[in-house]
């Protein structure tokens, strides 16, 4: 296709499609406020639009300006973020808001190079802010953009390899419309999301169909190419719930690991993947002489980017012995105030199920 279309012709076709056929509507589309663009992009990292949209709306309502976000306590931000996952994004969001408000006097950097210096802002987010807010001709490269270029141009380089990342960024940068970078960037992302979709793309109505490599070679389902996936680390957790109906014991995660700064019931990580007795594991771990289960343990599985979690929720009967041991190690929290704590999604769901939330 590159021999048939110049870079300018590619951009021209895309922008014509954007003007005549693009029906995709989102609240941040056409936005030029760098704070709101930054907020939307951070929330949408590794997140589907449908899932991220209510979080974006809640954050904008609660923190309409960077000053509001910077001045908020971290616990409030983590609570509002609860359920969205990848919690380091929320911590970076707060850190960067405070930096912009205090060190930069509330003014966002106005170019790609300086935006990249902000914590939690990578090349994609910096390009989005630079082009949408400041009309700087820097191409965004996300999954939608990669899919369009890979299929239309016939690029077989794994997009998640070092070579692939460089190649797709150069392709995107070479094809961007320098007069209308914001419109172009939005158009190619929308095109990938609505026409050149991962499954069942609308090839018959595609403006590039005539010379699209993947369409004409029957490789639409082959491209783009992903490098061999990493084997996910398997982890087994036992969450120990001790409550008398009025108070419950929690701990805050502080280690550099998943769910950092979130609250959870006392946890035991089990490294033997075979069968094990939860009563024996709990008794040995906490030094409780007699562990009696309140009910049958419930298991919840969750897949993260690099980990496969197998979580057992175990409620043990309240006893003076167990309560005394837990009070020395963990925080006793009023059940009535439990909804004020930011919890991992799986924990919150289980608490709802057993009527603690």
Q: Which residues are designated catalytic?
A: 41
What pLDDT shows up at residue 86? Answer: 84
Domain with CATH 1.10.340.30 in the chain: 7-217
What pLDDT shows up at residue 48? Answer: 87
Class of domain 7-217: mainly alpha
The mean pLDDT values, 10 residues at a time, for the chain of 357 residues are 67 94 84 96 89 95 97 93 89 96 96 96 95 97 96 94 94 95 96 95 94 93 88 92 94 89 93 79 90 90 90 94 94 93 93 90
The fold of the 233-353 domain, in CATH, is Nucleoside Triphosphate Pyrophosphohydrolase (3.90.79)
What pLDDT shows up at residue 273? Answer: 64
Beta strands in the chain (DSSP E): 233-241, 247-252, 263-264, 267-270, 298-303, 307-315, 331-334
> How confident is the model over 259-294, as pLDDT tens digits?
988 999 999 998 876 677 889 899 989 999 889 998
Q: Which of 76, 85, 99 is nearest to 43 (CA)?
A: 85
Taking the mean position of all CA atoms in its chain, how far away is CA 223? 24
Query: Measured over all CA atoms, what is the biggest interatomic distance in the chain, rounded to whole angstroms?
Result: 79
What pLDDT shows up at residue 46? Answer: 82
Domain with CATH 3.90.79.10 in the chain: 233-353
What pLDDT shows up at residue 274? Answer: 67
What pLDDT shows up at residue 223? Answer: 95
What pLDDT shows up at residue 256? Answer: 84
3-class secondary-structure state, position 277: coil
Q: What distance in Å separates the CA atoms of residue 122 and residue 273, rounded to the nearest whole number? A: 37
Beta bridge partners, 247, equal: 334
Q: What distance in Å separates the CA atoms of residue 357 and residue 346, rounded to the nearest whole number? A: 13
What pLDDT shows up at residue 2? Answer: 45
Q: Taking the chain, what is the end-to-end CA distance rounded to the nearest angstrom?
A: 57
Task: Output the DSSP codes for 179-214.
Answer: SSHHHHHHHHHHHHHHTS-SSS--GGG-TTGGG-HH
């Amino acid at each position: 296709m590159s021999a048939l279309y110049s870079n300018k012709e590619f951009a021209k076709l895309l922008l014509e499609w954007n003007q005549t056929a693009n029906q995709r509507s989102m609240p941040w589309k056409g936005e030029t406020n760098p704070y709101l663009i930054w907020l939307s992009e951070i929330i949408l990292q590794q997140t589907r639009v449908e899932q991220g949209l209510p979080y974006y709306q809640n954050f904008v309502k609660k923190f309409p300006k960077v000053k509001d976000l910077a001045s908020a306590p971290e616990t409030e931000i983590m609570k509002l973020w609860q359920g969205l996952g990848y919690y380091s994004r929320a911590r970076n969001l707060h850190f960067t808001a405070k930096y912009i408000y205090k060190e930069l006097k509330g003014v966002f950097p106005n170019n790609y190079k300086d935006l990249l210096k902000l914590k939690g802002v990578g090349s994609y987010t910096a390009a989005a802010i630079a082009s949408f807010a400041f009309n700087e001709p820097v191409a965004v490269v996300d999954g939608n953009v990669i899919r369009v270029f890979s299929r239309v141009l016939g690029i077989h380089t794994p997009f998640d390899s070092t070579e692939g990342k460089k190649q797709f960024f150069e392709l995107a940068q070479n094809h961007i419309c320098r007069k209308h970078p914001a419109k172009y960037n939005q158009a190619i992302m929308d095109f990938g999301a609505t026409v050149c979709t991962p499954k069942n793309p609308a090839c018959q109505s595609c403006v590039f169909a005539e010379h699209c490599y993947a369409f004409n070679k029957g490789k639409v389902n082959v491209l783009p190419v992903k490098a061999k996936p990493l084997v996910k680390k398997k982890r087994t957790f036992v969450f120990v719930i001790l409550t008398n109906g009025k108070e419950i014991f929690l701990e805050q995660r502080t280690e550099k690991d998943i769910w950092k700064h979130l609250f959870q019931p006392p946890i035991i990580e089990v490294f033997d993947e075979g069968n094990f007795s939860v009563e024996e594991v709990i008794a040995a771990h906490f030094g409780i002489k007699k562990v009696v289960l309140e009910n049958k343990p419930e298991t919840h599985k969750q897949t993260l980017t690099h980990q496969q979690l197998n979580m057992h929720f175990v409620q043990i009967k309240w006893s003076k012995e167990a309560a005394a041991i837990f009070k020395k190690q963990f925080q006793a929290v009023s059940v009535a105030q439990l909804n004020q704590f930011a919890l991992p999604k799986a924990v919150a769901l289980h608490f709802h199920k057993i009527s603690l939330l």
